[in-house]
Homo-oligomer: A and B are copies of this chain.
Amino acid sequence: MICVQASSAKVKIGVFKCGNVGTAPLFELLLDELAQRKDITVRTVTTGSKMSLEEVKDAFPKILEFAPDLLVIISPNPAVSGPAAAREIAVQNRINTVVMSDAVAKRMISDLEKQGVGYIVVLGDPLIGARREFLDPVEMALFNSNIMKVLAATGVFRLIHQEIDRVIAVLKENLAIRLPRLLIDTVTIRDKSDFLNPYAKAKAMAAYHIASKIPEINTKACFMEKDSEKFIPLVACAHEMAQLAANLAEQAREIEKYSDSVLRTPHSKKGEPLTKRKLMQSPEFDNSLYKEWLKSLQKK
């Protein structure tokens, strides 16, 4: 049994969001779902849905002033000038930086690796149907609700928070960090999700795969078709796919409920990974996961 010794100081997690992706709205809440964690301080600064260079330049310094031990930059397109500038500044300041983004960022991965920046690229976090004829605040919120359900129920949010939790643990142990290099596609759900029922897993994979195909439709609708007769049906189709994927992901979780085998991984007050399966059970320290975090470190 390895005991988790919290360094007396809290680990400071800075989050900078410019523009929105499905992982953004709840990201910092994933790290401290019960608001009882003593080992971290979280601070987020965002520019809302905008991601221009001007906005970023104005807002980014606020998160630097927080002096984060780990900085997470979330943006739908990390390659454009705004988020790129933020990343640049962070690297210059030698801050441990992780970029979180969607499929668009896949082609940047080798650049990020060269920059020494970690990344979490979520292929099932799709481009929204951003056409004024279709997207209003309510439709935007519904889409985000659906994508959040997909990312939560398929286990993607767990992969994300555990990867960040791993880094936090390492920071607390005061060891050299290996930043996240995580590309989450349908095969990741197959290999890393926690479903006990294999059909629940198959449904979760299907939900995630459907979500990951939405950008095909929305890219065409948002950037290629000029005629509203052409693009409105496309964005509507894409959002129906999102709704369907959410329903299917929910069904996958329901199946695990039917055999009382829903995995739960809350954080302890100290920020340790806990785990449980049966609803009426108490969560327990997940020793094997914690060891794995350290072991992977020792490899380095």
Contacts and interface: CB of A to CB of B under 8 A. Distances in A.
B228 A282 contact: yes
A84 interface: no
Contacts of A173: none
Contacts of A20: 29
B203 A240 contact: yes
Given A32-B49, A133-B283, A157-B138, A258 B259 contact: yes
Interface in A139-180: 139-142, 144-146, 148-149, 151-153, 155, 157-158, 161
Contact of A59 (B43, B47, B51): B43
A198 B280 contact: yes
Given A141-B151, A250-B243, A236 B202 contact: yes
A258 B258 CA distance: 7
Interface in A165-223: 186, 190, 197-199, 201-203, 205-206, 209-210, 213, 216-217
A140 to B, nearest CB: 4
A53 interface: no
A217 B209 contact: yes
Contacts of A25: 25-26, 29, 144
A45 B43 contact: yes
Interface string A232-243: 111011111101
A132 B34 contact: yes
A279 B266 CA distance: 30
B209 A138 contact: no
21 contacts: A26-B140, A26-B144, A30-B140, A34-B135, A35-B49, A42-B48, A62-B65, A132-B266, A133-B283, A136-B266, A137-B161, A138-B155, A146-B149, A198-B280, A203-B240, A205-B237, A205-B240, A210-B244, A229-B280, A244-B244, A258-B258
